[in-house]
Amino acid sequence: DYRRGGYHAVQISDTFKNGRYVIQRKLGWGHFSTVWLAWDTEKSLYVALKVQKSARHYTEAAMDEIKILKLIADGDPDDKKCVVKLLDHFKHSGPNGQHVCMVFQYLGDNLLTLIKYSDYKGIPLHMVKEICVHILVALDYLHNKLSMIHTDLKPENVLLLSMLDPSKDPRYTGASPLLPTSKSKPKPEQDPLETIESIQSTNGNLTKNQKKKIKKKAKRVAQKGAGEEASGDSESSMGLPGQEESSHEAELNGNSAEQRKKSNRGHSPATRQNLLKSVDAKCKLVDFGNTCWTYKQFTSDIQTRQYRCPEVILGSKYSTPADLWSFACICFELATGDVLFDPHTGDKYSKDEDHLAQMMELLGIMPRKITQHGCRSNEFFNRNGNLRHIRELKVWPLNKVLVEKYGFGEEDAKDLADFLVPILEFVPEKRPKAAQCLNHPWISSGPRLLEPSVPSGQVQAADSEACDDTGAEIDDRGG
């Protein structure tokens, strides 16, 4: 992906925007971007610099993300809604093209790293509850106030506010911020003053077909990228030694829990413990690159595989409840260290069908309303509402899974299942809203630092065509 239209090869101590931002180290990556810790020489603070791939599709996606981020920031002047703040944006020219860059407040590790530091055993329940409060406050704000659907909720897209000064983080070298050197002076072709809007105008005027082609290609690139990252070498030249990969996909590509555990390389138990202690569990949502509106959606192909809800798999209409499904998956994963659903392709069945089977084993049979009405329902279900290729379902309800597989006490298991099972409701309209989840005893009995907005009425499923023909889906996509 380090070719024309792809990532920009960033090096430590590189500068951006006429020397204002100096790169310190890599923070993470997704299929759209790489994200770097940078020192803002103008404001003397650390920031996160997201450098988008340069192909037109990614540029357009970044500009949409910027618009959405501005709306999100405008509605939250007091910074209480647990969403990341955009500080600046500009474009940067490099050998692979022009890259939209977004500057964010620097946040700490993502939740996948936190799960890793628990050795995939799960984090203490009081911390899970506190993280859940923050995610729910963010979701309540997005859904209720802004009519937005995040569509890609997963542990990598929830970041902790670490109390550690990044320069004192024991995992990384460097005691003070790198400042610009003569070697890292801005390159003459950079034009940081050009606005995002001007990129938009140069990239505009595409026909629908051209847009579709670019989108398809971007998806193929994304799929390919997932495979490349899993092999673990495509970015080895870019980070500092010992740096951890942040992608769930790299972790999940082998998919089994054992393989995830093997990849838990890196730091000493003491370092992990200290980092765990440094977390006060406040967190914020990031990555609004796939966010859409309840009344305007761009694709039926949303969510990362493990966090994907049944209505999306079945090609039915989706709306804000899709985010609640992903939220429940994250909550389970925080509490147990394991993904809730881990579907595989079999000899006789697809990954989607296995996913639906796993859902029913945990939560019971799907009602006909669900099995018959998606535009892909026929692929998976026969007229009797049974899966076509998977006949035997091994029922194992959530509270029993928590006790028998994860060693929970009966009461903790019951309490957590009481909270999660209604959110994992197959009928999306029946799922509780984020604000209602905040009032559930499992949450409200815990620490309560933030208030939700007033709950709204019915969530309306968007009136858009649920199935489109945009081609292959992105399973296990990055960041």
Nearest-approach distance from CB 267 to ligand ADP, in angstroms = 16
Q: Which of ligand ADP, Mg ion, none interacts with 33 (beta carbon under 5 to 8 A by kind)?
A: ligand ADP
C-beta of residue 20 within 8 angstroms of C-beta of residue 112: no
Nearest-approach distance from CB 217 to ligand ADP, in angstroms = 17
152 is catalytic: yes
Tell me which of 108, 166, 315, 479 binds Mg ion, using CB under 5 A: 479
Site for ligand ADP contains 110 (CB under 6 A): yes
Tell me which of 59, 147, 157, 303 binds ligand ADP, using CB under 6 A: 157
Nearest-approach distance from CB 464 to ligand ADP, in angstroms = 23
CA–CA separation, 416 and 420 (whole Å): 6
Q: What residues from 9 to 48 belong to the interface with ligand ADP (CB under 6 A)?
A: 27-33, 35, 48
Q: Give how far Cα 93 sits from Cα of 34, 44, 67, 128, 184, Å.
A: 15, 24, 21, 42, 15
A 10 A CB-CB count for 260 gives: 23
Tell me which of 88, 130, 156, 244 binds ligand ADP, using CB under 6 A: 156
Convert residues 6-35 into a mask of x (bound to Mg ion by CB under 5 A) and - (unbound): ------------------------x-----
Q: Give how far Cα 310 sits from Cα of 269, 353, 356, Å.
A: 38, 10, 7
> How close are the terminal C-alpha atoms of the chain, in Å?
15
Within 8 A by CB and 6+ apart from 461, the residues are 317, 318, 319, 428, 429
Within 8 A by CB and 6+ apart from 267, the residues are 170, 171, 275
CA angle 150, 101, 95 (to 5 degrees): 130
Convert residues 283-322 into a mask of x (bound to ligand ADP by CB under 6 A) and - (unbound): ---xx-x---------------------------------
R_g of the chain, CA atoms, integer Å? 22
Task: Identify which of 333, 315, 312, 325 has the alpha carbon closest to the alpha carbon of residue 252.
Answer: 333
Of the residues 152, 287, 354, 476, only one is catalytic, namely 152
Tell me which of 244, 249, 287, 323 binds Mg ion, using CB under 5 A: 287
Nearest-approach distance from CB 289 to ligand ADP, in angstroms = 4
A 10 A CB-CB count for 441 gives: 10
CA–CA separation, 477 and 161 (whole Å): 25
Which is nearer to ligand ADP, 52 or 358 (by Cβ)?
52
The amino acid present at 401, given as its one-letter code, is V
Convert residues 71-90 into a mask of x (bound to ligand ADP by CB under 6 A) and - (unbound): -------------x------
Which is nearer to ligand ADP, 84 or 275 (by Cβ)?
84
Nearest-approach distance from CB 286 to Mg ion, in angstroms = 7
Q: Which of Mg ion, ligand ADP, none interacts with 27 (beta carbon under 5 to 8 A by kind)?
A: ligand ADP
CA–CA separation, 468 and 477 (whole Å): 19
Annotated binding site for ATP: 50
Residues acting as catalytic residues:
152
Instruction: Please report, as ranges, the residues that interact with ligand ADP according to CB under 6 A.
Output: 27-33, 35, 48, 50, 84, 104-107, 110, 156-157, 159, 246, 286-287, 289, 479
Instruction: Please report, as ranges, the residues that interact with Mg ion according to CB under 5 A.
Output: 30, 157, 287, 479
